[in-house]
Structure 1
Amino acid sequence: METLFHNFSSIIVFLHVISAVIWVGGMIAIRLAVHYSMQEVQDPKIKLGRTLENLRRFFNMVIPSIIVLLLTAIIMIIALGFKGTPLYSIVIAKESVWTIMTIVFAVIFIKRNQAQKAFDEGKLPLAKEKLAPIANYLIPLNILLGIVAIYLGITLRGF
Structure 2
Amino acid sequence: MENLFHNFSSIIVFLHVFSAVIWVGGMIAIRFAVHYSMQEIEEPKVKIGRTLENLRRFFNMVIPSIVLLLLTAIIMIIALGFKGTPLYSFVIAKEAIWTVMTLVFIIIFRKRKNAQAAFDEGNITLAKDNLVIIAKYFIPLNIVLGLVAIYFGITLRGM
- State the TM bucket, normalised to the shorter chain: over 0.9
Corresponding residue for residue 90 of structure 1: 90
**When the two structures are superposed, what TM-score results if normalisation uses the length of structure 1?**
1.00
1:25 to partner: Cα distance:
0.2
Tell me the percent identity. Answer: 79
1:68 to partner: Cα distance:
0.2
1:33 to partner: Cα distance:
0.2
Structure 1 residue matching 2:9: 3-state secondary structure: helix
1:32 to partner: Cα distance:
0.0
* Alpha-carbon distance between aligned partners in 1 of 2:121 and 2:77, rounded to the nearest angstrom: 46
1:31 to partner: Cα distance:
0.1
Structure 2 residue runs of 5 or longer lacking an equivalent are: none
* Alpha-carbon distance between aligned partners in 1 of 2:64 and 2:141, rounded to the nearest angstrom: 21
User: Is 1:24 equivalent to 2:24 in the alignment?
Assistant: yes
1:41-63, Cα deviation, whole Å (9 max, x unpaired): 01100000000000000000000
1:104 to partner: Cα distance:
0.3
* Alpha-carbon distance between aligned partners in 2 of 1:118 and 1:150, rounded to the nearest angstrom: 36
1:100 to partner: Cα distance:
0.3
**When the two structures are superposed, what TM-score results if normalisation uses the length of structure 2?**
1.00
Corresponding residue for residue 9 of structure 1: 9
Corresponding residue for residue 148 of structure 2: 148
Corresponding residue for residue 125 of structure 1: 125
1:29 to partner: Cα distance:
0.1
The number of aligned residues is: 159
1:87-143, Cα deviation, whole Å (9 max, x unpaired): 000000000000000000000000000000000000000000111110000000000
Structure 1 residue matching 2:136: 3-state secondary structure: helix
* Alpha-carbon distance between aligned partners in 2 of 1:67 and 1:83, rounded to the nearest angstrom: 22
User: Is 1:70 equivalent to 2:70 in the alignment?
Assistant: yes
* Alpha-carbon distance between aligned partners in 2 of 1:93 and 1:136, rounded to the nearest angstrom: 25
* Alpha-carbon distance between aligned partners in 1 of 2:45 and 2:151, rounded to the nearest angstrom: 39
Corresponding residue for residue 48 of structure 1: 48
1:2 to partner: Cα distance:
0.1
Structure 1 residue runs of 5 or longer lacking an equivalent are: none
1:149 to partner: Cα distance:
0.2
RMSD: 0.3
